[in-house]
Amino acid sequence: MPIDLGLTRVARLLSHFNNPHLKYKSIHVAGTNGKGSTLAYISSILTQHRLRNGKFTSPHMVELNDCITIDNETYSQSKFDVINRNVLHVDKELQLKCTEFEILTVTAFKIFELEKVEMALIEVGVGGRLDATNVLDAFNGEGGVVATGITKIGIDHEGLLGNTIEQIAQEKAGILKLGIPCFTDGSNKEEALQVIKDKAKSLHCPLEVVVPNEDDRDLLRSSPLKGEYQLSNLAVALRIIELLRTFYTFSRDQTIAGIRNTHWPGRLESLDIPELGDILIDGAHNKDAAVELGRYLKSTYPAENITFVVGMTKGKNLSSLLTHIVRKDDTVIPTLFHQPDQMPWIYCESIKKISEVAKSFCRVKIVSQEAYISDVFRYLKENRDASSPVVVCGSLYLYADAVKWINQ
């Protein structure tokens, strides 16, 4: 079913499973961009310190179960299926009609209980205030949220969250919990920061507006994740780790090792395509993400003409993406992507529509009106200009198609 924000259904379903989400400590992170990277840093650092943790992020990258990790390892497909089927059965039995994301959230929370995690790292799906993950409660001495984080806020999901930064920030700030510390990216616009400050004050939440320091910059050198924006994500992650010293002991050497071993797929990631070579793939799908991608491309490929393979989710603003990343001598090749598993509300934009918009920015090459990324890769094998870097972007859902092509 379509996205239907609200907490009533998911709360009832969780209560049937004896509220597993209240039995371990949690960190809850919202934001338009950067929340996944922030949690990836935290998970890797905790894993390096042998502190058992579970991570729940969305959307999944290739298979449905890869949105859940235990100690930074994707949760077993077979074990996931057993728990997921049980959650689906109970939802049907109680006639709750939970959304696909609500089912997935309950599955993740139950898995974390069964796997006896010490810390659950939870990424908001959409918004925050009414997102299914926001059934999490403040830490009660045994379980619950010990810290919240808000990363970079931008304009996205306007139909659900609002058309202004203030409105969207209000939704993100909805994850703040009474008296629980919050850490937010200091590079956010002042309008967004003021909303978060007001919310924190009303809930008596200690709030740190995180501005990276020289030590953060030094530690970023250990990170394999690309892009200048990772400095802000890492800084927020490190402030949360510092807070966790209330409960645990961390060493600098192991923290550096955790940063060094961080992996977050589909964000400025290089993929080796058989017979084609390295391509860059990035899930940039909104204005802020496009700005960061454009900044990276300009510094990495200052003189080269780039071949962009672009696929978009229907309803996204393609002009807002292209204006920040392409130059007139670049080439856009439109592509479709396969609908992601259990996300029936997601549809890809047509190649015709992508072509029409892209023509006003640069050159366009159409492989076919039904071309998927496998078709584009076959075309590029035969026709690629070796001097032109290949960049796949526009939707994170392209990543699954690219990885499946490699695995085949």
Show the beta-strand stretches assigned E in 229-325. Answer: 269-273, 277-281, 307-310
| pLDDT tier at 154, thresholds 50, 70, 90 | confident
pLDDT surpasses 70 at 1: no
Higher pLDDT among residues 400 and 54, named by residue: 54
22-31, 137-146, 229-238, 381-390: lowest mean pLDDT where?
Answer: 381-390
226-240, 306-320, 351-365: lowest mean pLDDT where?
Answer: 306-320
pLDDT > 70 in the chain, percent: 97
Burial string for 235-264 (b: 16+ CB within 10 Å, else e) reads bbbbbbbebbeeeeebeeebbbbbbeebeb
Q: What is the pLDDT of residue 159?
A: 59
Q: What is the mean pLDDT of residues 376-385?
A: 91
Which residues make beta-bridge pairs with 364? 332
Average pLDDT, the chain: 93
- How many helices (DSSP H) and strands (DSSP E) are in the chain? 15, 14
Number of other CB atoms surrounding residue 324 within 10 Å: 19
Q: What is the pLDDT of residues 246-258, one digit of tens each?
A: 999 999 999 999 9
Single out the residue of 60, 51, 55, 50 nearest to residue 72, CA to CA.
Answer: 55
Contact 159, 167 (CB under 8 A): no
**Token pair 């967004």: residue:** 192
Domains of the chain: 7-261 (3.40.1190.10), 269-407 (3.90.190.20)
pLDDT surpasses 60 at 158: no
How far, in Å, CA of 266 to CA of 108, rounded? 22
Q: What is the pLDDT of residue 178?
A: 97
109: tokens are 């929370």
Residue 388, class by beta-carbon neighbours within 10 Å (0-12 exposed, 13-18 middle, 19+ buried)?
middle
| CA angle (261, 264, 270) in 5-degree steps | 95
How far, in Å, CA of 139 to CA of 144, rounded? 4
Kindly report whether the peptide bond that precedes residue 59 is cis, defined as omega within 30 degrees of 0. Answer: yes
How far, in Å, CA of 148 to CA of 234, rounded? 15
Q: What is the pLDDT of residues 115-138, one digit of tens each?
A: 999 999 999 998 889 999 999 999
Highest mean pLDDT of the ranges 184-188, 312-316, 379-383: 184-188
Contact 348, 395 (CB under 8 A): yes
DSSP 150-184: E-B--S--HHHH-SSHHHHHHHHGGG--TT--EEE
91-95, 156-160, 237-241: lowest mean pLDDT where?
Answer: 156-160
- End-to-end C-alpha distance for the chain, whole angstroms: 31
* DSSP for residue 130: T
Contact 357, 319 (CB under 8 A): yes
Higher pLDDT among residues 248 and 159, named by residue: 248
Q: What is the pLDDT of residues 346-374, one digit of tens each?
A: 899 999 999 999 999 999 999 999 999 99
14-18, 35-39, 401-405: lowest mean pLDDT where?
Answer: 401-405
What are the C-alpha distances in Å from 137 to residues 20, 27, 197?
A: 12, 11, 20
Q: What is the pLDDT of residues 327-346, one digit of tens each?
A: 999 999 999 999 888 788 88
Residues in Cβ contact with 395 at an 8 Å cutoff, skipping those fewer than 6 apart: 283, 285, 311, 312, 313, 316, 337, 348
Q: What is the pLDDT of residues 26-72, one digit of tens each?
A: 999 999 999 999 999 999 999 999 999 999 999 898 999 999 999 99
Q: What is the CA radius of gyration of the chain?
A: 21
Higher pLDDT among residues 274 and 307, named by residue: 307
Q: What is the pLDDT of residue 156?
A: 64
Question: What are φ and ψ of residue 272, in 5° steps?
Answer: -95, 105
Q: What is the mean pLDDT of residues 169-191?
A: 96
Q: What is the pLDDT of residue 387?
A: 83
7-11, 179-183, 187-191, 399-403: lowest mean pLDDT where?
Answer: 399-403
Residue 202, class by beta-carbon neighbours within 10 Å (0-12 exposed, 13-18 middle, 19+ buried)?
exposed
How far, in Å, CA of 64 to CA of 51, rounded? 25
How far, in Å, CA of 130 to CA of 126, rounded? 8
